[in-house]
Amino acid sequence: MKISHQHARFMKKLLICLDFDGTLFDTGRVIFSFPEIVQWGKGGFSKVLEEYYEFSKDEFLPEKFSGFLKAEKSFSVESADRLASRFTEVRERAPELVFEDALFFINQFPKGMLAILTRAHPDWQEGNISASGLRQYFSKVFIVKGKNGKRDVLEKLSVQYGHIIFIDDSPKEIDQVLGVKGVKAILLNRQGVIGRVGPKDLREVLSQVKELLGFG
């Protein structure tokens, strides 16, 4: 049942914040098809990204990733630049990478109740969000850097809003915001990771949100 604008007025002090990559947007469908990343495997690529963050002291940017590969991973100039250039495919295919259940979820709420809260480099993520077509559904978009970025934003928002629901597919990001006053954090478990408790898609999240809001 769609939440009406009349109901929303009663909930005007509520904000629902959703992560972007892996929550609203299936970035992995593209990048895990790259031959170089297939060779690393998902676990290996995650490790490489951690090394990149330590090396660059910054969020992901394809051109900086290329420099990292040349300096730290013994990639040739040609190979590093080729892999970095592949990431443009994310933006080119952006509309088709929006999760179907993401559109279903956000269409249940007025725009004023929705925000994107993503940890990324603004120079990279701004373009991805715009290309996806999702920006029109959200009243606010926060692109933050650093492991405390999301927590800092939620702490500031908690002063303005009585209640915040934060949805993310990263256990680390969920752990980082635990204890923020007025914030209910929901871990999205799209991959069905064994031992990780959480709804498998945003349709299941919607059921939890409706319960929290008292819509039954």
Q: To the nearest whole percent, how much of the chain has pLDDT over 70?
A: 92
The pLDDT value given to residue 211:
86
Please indicate whether residue 191 or residue 110 has the higher confidence score (pLDDT): 110
The pLDDT value given to residue 192:
74
The pLDDT value given to residue 13:
81
Q: pTM for the whole thing? A: 0.91
Q: What is the 3-state secondary structure (H, E, C) of the chain?
A: CCCCHHHHHHCCCEEEEECCECCCECHHHHHCCCHHHHHHHHHHHHHHHHHHHHHHCCCCCHHHHHHHHHHHCCCCHHHHHHHHHHCHHHHHCHHHHECHHHHHHHCCCCHHHEEEEEECCHHHHHHHHHHHCCHHHCCEEEEECCCCHHHHHHHHHHHHCCEEEEEECCHHHHHHHCCCCCEEEEECCCCCCCCCCCCCCHHHHHHHHHHHHCCC
pLDDT at 157 over 80: yes
- pLDDT digits over 12-66, tens only? 689 999 999 999 999 999 999 999 899 999 899 999 999 999 999 999 999 999 9
Residue 151: Cβ-neighbour burial (10 angstroms; 0-12, 13-18, 19+): buried
CATH numbers and ranges of domains, the chain? 5-26+98-213 (3.40.50.1000), 28-92 (no CATH)
pLDDT at 100 over 90: yes
**Residues 63-74, mean pLDDT to the nearest whole number:** 93
Average pLDDT value over all residues in the chain: 91
**Residues 151-173, mean pLDDT to the nearest whole number:** 94
Q: How confident is the model at residue 173 (pLDDT cuts 50, 70, 90)?
A: very high
pLDDT at 83 over 60: yes
The pLDDT value given to residue 145:
96
